[in-house]
Every structure is written in C-alpha cells, then in structure tokens.
Amino acid sequence: MMNKLLLAIDQGTSGCKMTIFDLDGQVVADVTKTYETYYPKEGYVEQNCDIWWQVIVEGIKEMLDDRNINPSNIKGIGVDGISWACIPIDKKGNVLYPTMIWLDRRGIKEAQWMKDTVGEKELIELSGNPVDACYITPKMLWLKNNKPEVYNKTYKFLQSNSFIVYRLTGEISQDHSQGYGFHFYDMTNNVYSEAMANKLGLSLDLVAPIYNSHDVVGKITSEVASLTGLIEGTPVVAGGLDAACCTLGAGVIKEGQTQEQGGQAGGMSIALDKPIIHKKLILGKHVIPNMWLLQGGTTGGGGTLNWFNKEFGTDEKQEAFERGCNSFVIMSEKADEVNPGSDGVIFLPYMKGERSPLWNAKATGVYYGLGFDKGKNQMIRATMEGVAYSLMHNLETAFEVGASVGTLKSVGGSSNSHVWTQIKADITNRRIEVPYSDHATTLGAAILAGVGVGLYSSFEDAVSKCVKIQRVHEPNPDRIQCYKNGYAKYKKLSSLLEENLWN
C-alpha cells in the first residue's frame, strides 16, 4: 500500500515530529525538529510559531527527499498540536505576538477576574473546565488589558494545529478537541456560547469556525507545494489536540478506555460517551465525534527524568556512550536495583507548578526522605514513582465523579522503560498495554486524515489496522501495599506543602 500514504505533523512542546505512515500504521519516514522555548519574565512561557512553520517546511522536504518518496502518494495530511497556545493573527495571516503556550501563566489576574465577575461555577458548568491562567481565555483577556495595540489588530485567535493548517491551506479553522481552551465553548452542545463570550467581554468574531477533527478543511496551496515538495491540492484535515490524537493513536476510542501519557508532560485521558465534569480535571472533546475525554494533565511527566539526566546524569551518559545505548536505559537499570518505595524517598514532580488536580502555580518539585544512606539510584526510582503517583492522583480524582477506568494504554517516550511502566502498573493497580508508543500522537493525526479522505471506513477500522500492542504489564500484587503507603505519604506531603508554603 505504499502508493497510499498519510502525513502527520505533531507540534509538541519541545519540537515538531513529522511522520509518514502507510495504511497499516507502519512508519515510512520520520523526522523531528526542535525549537526554543523562551521565559522572558516570571510566568511568561513563549515560543515563536513562525519557527514552527520553518521547521515543518524543512522536515517535510527532508523526508520526501531523503526517502525518495513520491509526494503524489500522500493522500491526506493530519495535524495535531499542544494545548492552550494563543496565536493572534491579522487579516493577512501575520502573527502579532509571541505565542503563549500551555505553560504560560501570566494571566493570573485575568483568571481571577473571570471568577469574580462571572463566577467559576457558571464557567465550569458551561465549559467543563476550571478557570486557570494556562487556558486561552485568560491569555486573550491579558492581551486585551495589557497589549491593546495587539488585541485591536487581531483578526482571529488560532491555536497550534489550526495555525499550521492555516499555513498549509490558507483556511481558517478551529476543531472541537481544542475548544476546551475557551471558557465560552459549550462542552455539552459543542458550540460557542455568545452569551458567555459577551459576559467575558470577548467577541466570537475573534474565533474561527468549528470543524470535526477529521473534516477536510483545505488543500495544500501552490506556494506550500513549492516550499515543501508536496502536491498542490493534497487534502488537509482540521486535526486536533496532541493529547487527543495520542489517545486515538493508542487505540482509545470506546467508553472507559484510558490512555496514559508518558511524554514530556504526564497525565491520562479517559474516553467518555457523555461529558462528565470534575472541577479539578480537564474535559475536552475527543477527536472522534460524540466522544469526550476526561483528562488529567501534569507538568511532570517524562520531562522530570530528562531534567534529572541533564543535571545529574554525567555518569549515566558516559556509561551509555561506552555501551552504545541511551542513558535512559542505564537509569532504568539503576532504578530496577532499588526496592519499591525507593527506600523512603518520595518525589513531587511539580517542576513548573502543577496542573490537575492541584492547579497551583506555586507548587515546586521536591525530593523528601534523603539521607546519608540514600543515593542517586533512589532518586532515579523516586522520580519514576513520583510521576506514577501523580497519575494515580488524577485517576483517583476521576473516580470521584464515577469515571470508569480499566486497562491503561501507555504511550510516549517513558513507556519505552519497562521498569517505569511496571511502576505505573503497580501504583495504579491497573493492567497496562503498550502499543508502538513513540509514534502514537502522529499515528492519531494520520488516522484523522485517513478517515477524513475515506481511506478507512471508520475509526474502528483504522485502529484495528494500525494499533498493535507490543507488550503488557500486570500489577504485581506483592507491591500493592507498599505503594499504597507511598501514595498516602505523597498526598500528605503535597497537602502539607500546599497549605503552608504554596498558598
């Protein structure tokens, strides 16, 4: 089926991955391009979305040229991207301000104004989401209050995937799965609420028309074709949120199925056939019609071990070089040498504040229980366990509103670690299945394109052909009690710090 291929573009926090798949979900070509994140002031976290576009052009051209791929074989293009990226453009498509990404929390005052003026209860009942500065609504209000010269020139506010789709096709769009960034998006009826937008002092003229994620919204322009080597007229679908596409790429398409995210950030996505709201969790539309995702999103996922490796992993990097492997393989081996519970060391993975279920910008990362009898290996395992505890905290919060969670499907870079994945199975007391994890997000975006252009008869058809389980982890009953005790200490430590230091 090499004469029928799908191109997926995954705009992530640290870089952009581009993958070409055949219709069986096999990778034909793959490239990743990185870019910078900027922290100009406290609470400010920005990227340059024009650089996103630059690396996408470079990456697509590189894949086509290096693998000698006939671009006419690419039958559809899907795009996914990070959440809560606020991109104001003018009528000519010029970007008017640096992109505030999901980590940006400068709109704290605006978020509080929303609570004081409209009321958090009413906003949650409509949008299904808490009022927090990291969402797009406070960022729009921040621009209105602090950069009126930008706000007044803004024609539309785009998000990550819709910006890329616009650059590919020249068409303005907004997909349902990213609608949860706006507190005037009616999560039950899947439409904008003009009444709520008016209460917030925002105009619906500033947002784009809404599409299903698999809807074809435009085609590759002649200009883009000349830049990339793609064929003019190649269809492009609306795409969606990276976490939702990753959930699709993991094979989560039915009620109760759950994806566990092991990327730079952590979290989980529970598939629902009706919206269920918890004020401490995130509710969004799935990229599949008539399905929702109850999500827990944390700042500390696989990125915690990336940070540890960068700051303290000199020996592991050297050993990895000598053995011809990745330093994360070495760290997994060292973690496996330590007893479950890390000999009393507990890690709180709040490395840039914390999202759900704490929603506390002042939260910080903590290693607790260190002593002269503890060393690096305990800290490595504690890092892995802390991320797993944060996953359990989100799952436990979802249980409060009756969400059903069975087997977890684990994707992302950290799921390549057998040790880390087993820790998550033991702490959550859930069976974990691992599909081909490194490409789950781009696979989900490709499936959207495949369904959109009719190469798959349904999402079920696509998943049956593309998603293949590589290995399974069952919870170890001998470790359940140890981790129950560790989780209780994790929550107590988090609660004490929140009450006394992070308030």
pLDDT digits (tens, 9 = 90+) for 412-431: 889 999 999 999 999 999 99
Which uninterrupted H or E stretch holds 173?
none
Over residues 363-388, the pLDDT tens digits come to 999 999 999 999 999 999 999 999 99
Residue pair 175/210 in contact (Cβ under 8 Å)? The answer is yes
Per the structure, the count of domains in the chain is: 3
Q: Which residue, of 217, 241, 265, is where some domain finishes?
A: 241
Domain end position, chosen among 241, 263, 278: 241
pLDDT reported for residue 447: 98
The verdict on 66 and 133 lying in the same domain is yes
Across 125-139, 384-398, 432-446, least confident range = 432-446
Let me know whether 72 and 127 are in one domain.
Answer: yes
CATH code for the domain of 363: 3.30.420.40
Q: What is the pLDDT of residues 131-182, one digit of tens each?
A: 999 999 999 999 999 999 999 999 999 999 999 999 999 999 999 999 999 9
Q: If 0-12 CB within 10 Å is exposed, 13-18 middle and 19+ buried, where does residue 299 land?
A: buried
Which contiguous run of DSSP H or E holds residue 284? strand 282-285
339 and 264 in a single domain? The answer is no
Report in angstroms the alpha-carbon separations of 289 from 213, 223, 434, 492.
8, 32, 25, 40
Q: Please give the structure tokens belonging to residue 113.
A: 């104004």
pLDDT digits (tens, 9 = 90+) for 9-64: 999 988 999 999 999 999 999 999 999 999 999 999 999 999 999 999 999 999 99
Residue 245, both tokens: 């596409």
Residues 279 and 221 reside in one and the same domain: no
Among 93-107, 304-318, 426-440, the least confident range? 426-440
Do 18 and 86 lie in a common domain?
yes
Domain end call among 220, 241, 262:
241
Are 266 and 193 contained in the same domain?
no
362 with 390, same domain: the answer is: yes
Cα 149-153-154 angle, rounded to 5 deg: 120
Predicted local confidence at residue 2, as pLDDT: 73
Round to whole Å and give the CA distance between 190 and 178: 11
**Residues 408, 276 within the same domain:** yes
Q: Output the pLDDT for position 92.
A: 97
Pair (162, 93) in one structural domain: yes
> Is a pLDDT exceeding 70 seen at residue 437?
no
CB neighbour list of residue 228: distance below 8 Å, 6 or more residues apart: 57, 60, 61, 64, 220
> Roughly what angle, to the nearest 10 degrees, separates helices 136-146 and 108-117?
100
The overall average pLDDT reported for the chain is: 96
Q: State pLDDT tens for residues 247-295.
A: 999 999 999 899 998 877 888 999 999 999 999 999 999 999 999 999 9
In this structure, the answer to whether residues 386 and 467 fall within a common structural domain is no
Say whether both 181 and 144 belong to one domain.
yes
% the chain with pLDDT above 90: 92
Alpha carbon 438 to chain centroid distance?
A: 14
Closest CA to 268 of 305, 293, 303, 241: 293
pLDDT(339) > 60: yes
- Look at residue 180 in the predicted model and tell me its pLDDT: 96
Residues 6 or more apart whose CB falls under 8 angstroms from that of 37 comprise: 13, 14, 45, 46, 47, 101, 103
Contacts of 49 (CB under 8 A, 6+ apart): 85, 87, 95, 99, 160, 163
CA–CA distance, 230 with 274 (Å, rounded to integer): 39
- pLDDT score recorded for residue 263: 78
pLDDT digits (tens, 9 = 90+) for 181-236: 999 999 999 999 999 999 999 999 999 999 999 999 999 999 999 999 999 999 99
Domain span at 361: 302-397+478-500
The pTM assigned to this predicted structure is 0.90
User: Which H or E element spans position 338?
Assistant: none
Q: Is the pLDDT of residue 1 over 60?
A: no
Claim to verify: residue 254 and residue 159 sit in the same structural domain: no
Average pLDDT of the segment spanning 62-90? 96
Q: What is the pLDDT of residue 22?
A: 97
Candidates 221, 295, 213; CA nearest to 261 is: 295
For residue 48, what are the β-bridge partners?
A: none
Cβ-proximal residues to 445 (8 Å cutoff; 6+ apart), any chain: 8, 9, 10, 78, 79, 80, 239, 240, 245, 249
